[in-house]
Chain A
Amino acid sequence: MFRKCYWIMLEISSPRGIIGLLRQRGEEMDVIQVSGFSKNYGALQAVKHVSFTVAEGSVFGILGPNGAGKTTTMECMIGLKNRTAGKITVLGLDPEKHRHELFSDVGVQLQETVYQSAAKVFELCQLFSSMYKKPLDYRNLLDRFDLASKTKSSIGSLSGGQRQKLAIVLALIANPKIIFLDELTTGLDPGARREIWTYIRRLQSEGRTIIMTTHYMEEASLLCDQICLINQGEIVARGTVDEVITQAQIDLVITFETDGDVRSLLKDLPKMGHMKQEDSVVTIYTSSEETLTDLILKLSAASIPYRKIKITYPELEEAFLKLVNPTMKGAVS
């Protein structure tokens, strides 16, 4: 009986099984579904009616200012906190009820965990290895994360970057399908941060799904396939990085240099927001790239020479600032 069930399970999960067939047909599998999720701490509504899905093998970013509800959302997805309302499924299971079944499929790095400074790296790795039925070999993992030389060092002697890499190693020992990273790179120097990025890329290329919170927009732009931007417990934007930037409706900026005053010539450019000229430098704010074509046509028709023409697209950071604080005009100079 048991054996039969086992074979059925195997069949379902094998590459040629049902799930494999679905994937071959190009249907994206969602490994996490969150719908109408809310979490209150007493009277405080930390997260309000949040919904999103995370596709298998993707990097999903949860962004937002401090106190927006990122960590709370993540902890409810892991089952460390109970939600107030809504539905969350991780790999088809409710993390609140099936936390234990999910442990070996879900690796976690928590923002605030400080491992015992007197412990040695290999001792922590051995401890974590002892918790799982089929752990990955921690020596290989340490090697992969350039920590092999630190195997016998105490946690207290590691640098910030090394500690974060160890946190990933400990999250990986279970060989999880999904990895939760909560502000993994906060407080690291730019070099260490970039190093961590390459590791995250590599984890994704192994087919693992990664859910990360961050408040570095550059990091999110580089790594995340999908992001959701949370502010005061509510989703303010969701989608790919480009989609979120588009949602923020921030003007493109065209600048060029010319001699003489062109303000009256250009004042009727279609779709242009506004324009200014300081000495030879002209700056045009517009909602559409077509303005550039119109600009060049007009300048050519009037035989006005132009130099150093440049178009600047809004970055995620500006979109973030605008979406989180709509009264702010953004940091465009």
Chain B
Amino acid sequence: MFKTLTTFEFKLHVRNFFTMFFALAFPVMMLLLFGAMYGNEPSSLTGDRGTVDLMLPAYTCMIVAVTGLMSLPLTVANYREQKILKRFMATPIQPMQILVSQVVVNSITTVAGIGLLLVVAKLVYSVQFFGNVLTTLMAFLLVMISMFSLGLVIAGVTPNARAATSLAFILYFPMLFLSGASIPLYIMPKGMIVISKLLPLTYGVRLLSGVWLGDNLLDYGLELAVLVGITLVCVGLSTRFFKWE
């Protein structure tokens, strides 16, 4: 039953153009755009590493943002508004299974998007990985869990799909452009950097970029604390306030 549900949800998920574009195509486009502008030649400005080497971990955050802050919450908010969650409550399926299957399909897309990005980066720019695989995976998982839990709050507490869409856009677009996920923060003016410090994803980008380049997880106490804090608060909020209808 859960398998059929997840397969079903996955098919619908893949048919969503917005998600597929921003999770699969857009990051690759950004990679090629910035790669074409700056190349991946090591320079003294970037600590003897190529620009693409530096930007790649940030681009993965861009993918997590679209699945976690757009696709997941908007699908769930629509399901509630269209009374699909309610309809499923009158079947042997637990509505919780729908949430779980949504988390699963969005995780799959996230991993697929990152996989595609890495393959392109490797083929076109021979990008290099300087970190520890396990540490990087842990950091990535934390970033993903924190963004997904934020997404569930958007889905769970907004009164209707329109409000969820507004809130998701308000969170997604600033984070896409001002967290360093798509455009490096060092080229931003000071004011933007102040704003970036208010965006949760900024901490995800910093953490992931750091461990990607070989730093230790524990060098990023603030980032870890912010991401874990967001996760705890969001899980708490959605458990307490999630509206099924």
Q: Give me the interface of A with B, judged by CB distance under 8 Å.
A: 78-80, 100, 103-104, 106, 108, 110, 112-116, 118-119, 123-124, 126-128, 130-132, 174
- How many angstroms from the CA of A172 to the CA of B93 in the assembled complex? 16
B residues in contact with A104, CB < 8 Å: 92
B225 within 8 A of A: no
Distance in angstroms from B82 CB to nearest chain A CB is 4
- How many angstroms from the CA of A4 to the CA of B149 in the assembled complex? 49
Asked whether, in the complex, the Cβ of B91 is within 8 Å of the Cβ of A131, the reply is: yes
A-B CB pair tally, cutoff 8 Å: 58
Partner of A110, one of B5, B8, B12, B83: B83
A residues in contact with B91, CB < 8 Å: 103, 128, 131, 174
- How many angstroms from the CA of A103 to the CA of B89 in the assembled complex? 9
How many residues on the B side are at the interface (Cβ–Cβ under 8 A)?
A: 19
Asked whether, in the complex, the Cβ of A130 is within 8 Å of the Cβ of B86, the reply is: no
A113 in contact with B16 given A103-B92, A130-B5 (CB within 8 Å): no
Distance in angstroms from A80 CB to nearest chain B CB is 6
Nearest residue in B to A79 (C-beta to C-beta)?
B90
B residues in contact with A106, CB < 8 Å: 90
Nearest residue in A to B13 (C-beta to C-beta)?
A118
A116 in contact with B12 given A110-B83, A130-B1, A130-B4 (CB within 8 Å): yes
Asked whether, in the complex, the Cβ of B8 is within 8 Å of the Cβ of A112, the reply is: no
A residues in contact with B92, CB < 8 Å: 100, 103-104, 131-132
B residues in contact with A78, CB < 8 Å: 90
B15 within 8 A of A: yes
Asked whether, in the complex, the Cβ of B87 is within 8 Å of the Cβ of A113, the reply is: yes
B243 within 8 A of A: no
Asked whether, in the complex, the Cβ of B8 is within 8 Å of the Cβ of A126, the reply is: yes
Nearest residue in B to A108 (C-beta to C-beta)?
B90
Nearest residue in B to A112 (C-beta to C-beta)?
B83
Asked whether, in the complex, the Cβ of B86 is within 8 Å of the Cβ of A118, the reply is: no
A127 in contact with B4 given A113-B83, A119-B12 (CB within 8 Å): yes
Asked whether, in the complex, the Cβ of B90 is within 8 Å of the Cβ of A110, the reply is: yes
Distance in angstroms from A318 CB to nearest chain B CB is 34
Asked whether, in the complex, the Cβ of A103 is within 8 Å of the Cβ of B5, the reply is: no
A108 in contact with B8 given A131-B1, A131-B93 (CB within 8 Å): no
